[in-house]
Chain A
């Protein structure tokens, strides 16, 4: 990319996203696919992988100065763990939007939104939907 003049300092820096699985289940197929979708949309993904805790995610968000956090869960624990993540970030003083990926019934979406979850991505979300969701959640974009 010889002609890629570094347009530095103009606010065009890539969006930085922390991706993690919260909870015990080991289904990381979706999270890995999302990581690649975001990479292919020009974003920088800090991939934390399996079995993260709210604490390890907060450490990463803080040190990596992330713009968005994406949490995947396939354990039907979204109503417990989703709001817990939002709450933990906010208590740590980090006002970073949280997107939840996984099997979230439509009925639960209002409760998730009320708890401060910035976006929900269900199974089968297309690359466009995933990228649009992250961009919408990200204030810098």
Chain B
């Protein structure tokens, strides 16, 4: 939900404190917000002219179930949609695959074919909304399905705006939702970058995500370093395909976690902007200002939420959201307080959104840009996190003999990233266990937990049966020869690393090849990946 500020209201009272004291847009010396290296923000007046986008993630059950939720969100004034897919979809499997048993429609919406995407966006004008799709391994296929649906609606792909997560590197490091080995997977990422750079000027082809790295247990410094290193790796990979840096970097965006250590988080966001600007300009030779500006989405830390006394999570989420805002985020998702127990219920999701609205409209924090800038502690923290991130970059450069892309590949292949993350996660657990860290309601202040009071959202078995029936119907009503021919073309294009595979994916989804069939075809070319176990 993008929230434009009412200019009239702004003139009247917006930039005064609650007691009426007028406040400036920015305080302090040094490079201002909107100036290189953008430590203080990518815009000069930040939330004064436009608040962050309150983008809430939704997806469950069948496409029709989620479509109903989308319509509610749009009716409530939202202009952005964010889609969560179920596990079988994220893993590129159809709903009738044996792995899908028990998982269809549970953690997100189930998508098997272009028909599901059509139902997902039925009645929604795709030229008017921006859509975020949280998908990685099968990202190029979902993009193709989205384009096909838009075109069947009569909307040209060049008018589509949205974001595909499409960040496969962090999957090997943290979230583990990969389909193929790293190198062909990075090639698919660059295929999407090339395709959207040429044909979809309003589309963000990759959302480089530290969120999942942090959720897997990393520290803030690791989240910062690994995420930016992945960003550098994509930049190098795309340049290697012949793109010029300023042709695609402006459309790269980021996605960070906002965790509990308030000032560390603020420092992390500030350091991220500064590092990106410097590296893009000095190392990769970007000159377009938009290439230098790191734009990011923030989500509060799901891993920090407790199953004990879950209502206390409302306070955690509020503080984390505040850190994201004070760190200058472009969009924000706030977690629901019941997420450590189940999928978010409607009530909990509403409270999460209201939390953002309180921060935006009641606290006054959006009136001044980077209000923590100039604090000795925050500036030191920003510098310190930058220094720690640079150490990681140096290590990866050594691993890759000067190439960040090769360094990241080497770190994935040897299990280095996963090992660093697992070490950090264990260190934290031991500290909590030893009582060196207090987690309210878990190892201290444990009185008052009331398990009886919890109302949880549940997805039934009906969804799974229904989705399988839908899939059967799609398979019955299509031209199987056309599907076979399209899949053969996908295989041929995938086999030639210089060919962009997105156009043949588009042809395949148009004739109703399913997600699982396309993934199987690609797997035949690329193979699969078994991680080196690092425990």
Contact surface of A with B, Cβ cutoff 8 Å = 23-29, 32-33, 35-37, 45, 47, 49-51, 75-77, 79-81, 84, 103, 105-107, 122-124, 126-128
Q: A76-B106, A76-B107, A123-B340 are in contact. Are A32 and B425 (CB under 8 A)?
A: yes
B191: Cβ under 8 A from any A Cβ: no
Which of these, B215, B340, B433, B459, contacts A29 with CB under 8 Å?
B215
Decide: A29 and B535 in contact? CB cutoff 8 A: no
Q: Are the CB atoms of B426 and A24 closer together than 8 Å?
A: no
Please state if B307 and A49 are interface contacts (CB–CB under 8 Å). Answer: no
B contacts with A: majority SS: loop
If the complex has contacts A32-B426, A76-B342, A126-B433, are A26 and B102 also in contact, measured as CB distance less than 8 A?
Answer: no
Partner of A105 from the list B215, B456, B533 (CB cut-off 8 Å) is B456
26 A-B residue pairs with CB within 8 Å: A23-B87, A23-B102, A24-B87, A24-B99, A25-B107, A27-B175, A28-B176, A28-B216, A29-B216, A29-B422, A29-B425, A32-B425, A32-B426, A33-B422, A36-B426, A45-B535, A75-B102, A76-B106, A80-B101, A80-B102, A81-B102, A84-B102, A103-B340, A105-B456, A106-B454, A107-B456
Chain B positions within 8 Å of A79 at CB level:
102
**Is there an interface contact between B87 and A105, defined as CB atoms closer than 8 Å?**
no
Cα A20 to Cα B161 with chains together (Å): 40
Q: Is the beta-carbon distance between A76 and B101 smaller than 8 angstroms?
A: no
Count of CB-CB pairs between chains A and B under 8 Å: 100
Contact B343 A105 (CB under 8 A): no
Cross-interface CB contact of A103 among B90, B99, B307, B432, cutoff 8 Å: B307
User: Once the chains are docked, how many angstroms separate the CA of A105 from the CA of B451?
Assistant: 9
Q: What residues of B have a CB within 8 angstroms of the CB of A80 in the complex?
A: 101-102
> B535–A47 contact, CB under 8 A?
yes
Taking A26-B176, A29-B425, A33-B425 as contacts, is the C-beta distance between A124 and B216 under 8 angstroms?
no
In contact, A37 and B102 (Cβ under 8 angstroms): no
Are A77's CB and B176's CB within 8 A?
A: no
Distance in angstroms between the alpha carbons of A123 and B444 in the assembled complex: 16
Q: In the complex, which residues of chain A have a beta carbon less than 8 angstroms from the beta carbon of B535? A: 32, 35-36, 45, 47
Kindly provide the distance from the CB of B115 to the nearest chain A CB, expressed in whole angstroms.
Answer: 22
Question: Are B426 and A75 interface neighbours, CB within 8 A?
Answer: no
Cβ–Cβ < 8 Å partners of B433 in chain A: 126-128
CB pair A124 B442 closer than 8 Å: yes
Q: What residues on B are CB-neighbors of A76 within 8 Å?
A: 106-107, 342-343, 459
